[in-house]
Amino acid sequence: MAGAGADPMLQRATEHIFSMGLGDVAAEMSERNMTYGLAKIHHVLAELGHAPDATFIATPDLTITRNEARWQAGVGYGGKITWGGGERPVVFLDVKPNCCGMLVGGLAELPPLADVARRLDAMLEDHAQLDGVDIDWDIGTGNHFVDLMAVETLAPDVDLPRWCFVMHFSGEELRGDNALGMGLYWDYSAEIRRRMRVFETPWGPCRTLLDDDAFEYWEFFRRAERFTRRRRQMAAERLFDDFTVIANLHHQGLVSANAMLLGCQDTSGGGLAPVMLREATPGYLFRPLPNLTDPVIELLGWTERAREHGVIEQLRAANVIPHGAGYMLPGVSHVAAVHEFDGRRYYEVEATEGGVRIVLGTPRDLTYAYRGRRVILASAEYRLGEIAARLQPRSVLKA
């Protein structure tokens, strides 16, 4: 990695990344980018008088993020960042939590696709409100969707209906200042920008909230997470007459004042967790297991390094599982180098055809696809959960 060998802070950050990623080029790029993001967090923690012990636990779906602001801030996707036990009065804003999540609803009968599409169209025209906030239904944005699926139960002690739907979307209406509080995104919220402190680090600015502002943001996030959970339920009630909630979880947000999920799900609450792949590929419901266990940590070769840095308990309390497969980059063979110019990073990658070198500031415009069942197999292998059901896709709706 460019610069990592010569810079002890980058090397330290590298040693605080514990990756279950699949080792493809998308995972490699994410891991390299997270090195810079963690180094920034370590720099700020040390300046504030805390131990620089922030850790990134990467799940098997480790991949790039196509969100330019996150990427340029040194953030990857597919894993959990921790920078304390919840007691440290600092929240790092560049991770940009947005409460994106999925609701899985059980159905006794599969409704006609045309009927669900008609109701979805009517919902998009309905200027609904929740808790005084105007709803911006973002079904169809990016990889957001509604899937109708057949349920194949695989665990003998799990009782599931024959059919289900899966809804995936976030809470865009809460990014800026709103009736619930200060907003989620620093670049959308004037109130956050008024309160935040920007630390200048060798790898670029690090935007934070400190002291009471940090804990107030955490409390706002908890309200926002409850809001988006009810918002998903509200959407489901508009699209389907009778259903049972199987799961309703977010995968892009805080789980404490000092821990952030980046495209993975917190499994500490039990229940079932969905892991969705491509449109025409089965999804899965997992029964989560407490993770990571000591045998898995040893299998991954992490035990000595985790003990050396005093973060073994963070690994033992990971309790994560992917929410999807993550992007793969079929047009890129490997990362050749990382260049740094005036605080900006550029990745030099080699194309799979012709040995063409590409230098880019963000991977957003690279050709991408979604991975398949390797993420499912790795999640089971590392005992993140047990497969409870396979979800066979029947139809997909995107607005």
Per residue in 246-271, pLDDT (tens digit) is 999 999 999 999 999 999 999 999 99
Residue 182: pLDDT above 70?
yes
Query: pLDDT band for position 133 (50/70/90)?
Result: very high
Lowest mean pLDDT among 44-48, 91-95, 141-145, 212-216: 141-145
Q: What's the structural domain count of the chain?
A: 1
In a domain? residue 375: yes
Is the pLDDT assigned to residue 236 strictly greater than 60? yes
pLDDT at 156 over 50: yes
pLDDT of residue 399: 66
77 in a structural domain:
yes
Using DSSP's 3-state secondary structure scheme, residue 24 falls into coil
Q: Is the dihedral of CA 305, 307, 309, 311 positive or negative?
A: positive
User: Which H or E run contains 244?
Assistant: strand 244-256
Whether the pLDDT of residue 138 is over 80: the answer is no
Helices (H), 201-320: 211-239, 294-299, 303-308, 312-316
Answer whether residue 3 is part of any domain.
Answer: no
pTM here is 0.94
Residue 199 lies in a domain: yes
Could you report the per-residue pLDDT of 56-76, keeping only the tens digit for each? 999 999 999 998 999 999 999
The Cα 66–Cα 208 span in angstroms is 22
Residue 166 scores a pLDDT above 80: yes
Q: Which domain holds residue 129?
A: 8-397
Q: Assign 343 a pLDDT band (cuts: 50, 70, 90).
A: confident
Question: Has residue 140 got a pLDDT over 70?
Answer: no
- Mean pLDDT for the stretch of residues 214-218: 98
Which of the four pLDDT bands, split at 50, 70 and 90, describes residue 137? Answer: confident
- Residues with Cβ within 8 Å of 332's Cβ and at least 6 positions away in sequence, in order, are 25, 349, 350, 351, 352, 358, 366
CATH of the domain at 298: 3.90.1860
Confidence at residue 226, expressed as pLDDT on a 0 to 100 scale: 96
List the structure tokens of 99. Answer: 């409460």
pLDDT one-digit tens code per residue, 344-363: 899 999 999 998 999 999 99
- How confident is residue 385, by pLDDT bands cut at 50, 70 and 90? very high
Average of per-residue pLDDT across 278-287: 93
pLDDT band for position 2 (cuts 50, 70, 90) = very low
Q: Which of 288, 278, 304, 291 is nearest to 396 (CA)?
A: 278
pLDDT confidence tier of residue 341, bands split at 50, 70 and 90: confident
Q: Which pLDDT score, from 0 to 100, does residue 144 have?
A: 72
Query: Which DSSP letter does residue 356 get?
Result: -
Percent with pLDDT over 90 in the chain? 89
For residue 162, which amino acid is it?
Answer: R
Q: Is residue 118 part of a domain?
A: yes
Q: What is the mean pLDDT of the chain?
A: 94
The pLDDT assigned to 1 comes to 41
Which pLDDT score is estimated for 125? 87
Answer yes or no: is pLDDT of 3 > 80.
no
**Is the residue at 1 inside a domain?**
no
pLDDT of 205 = 96
What the block records as the tokens of 392 is 């066979």
Alpha-carbon distance of 177 to 41, in angstroms, equals: 25
Nearest partner of 250 among 270, 273, 271, 234, judged by Cα: 273
Domain membership flag for residue 2:
no
Residue 370 lies in a domain: yes
Q: Number of C-alpha atoms within 13 angstroms, CB side, residue 98?
A: 23
Q: What percent of the chain has pLDDT over 70?
A: 97
Query: In the sheet where 283-288 sits, what is the strand order?
Result: 17-19, 55-63, 77-82, 259-262, 244-256, 100-107, 163-169, 145-153, 385-397, 283-288, 273-275
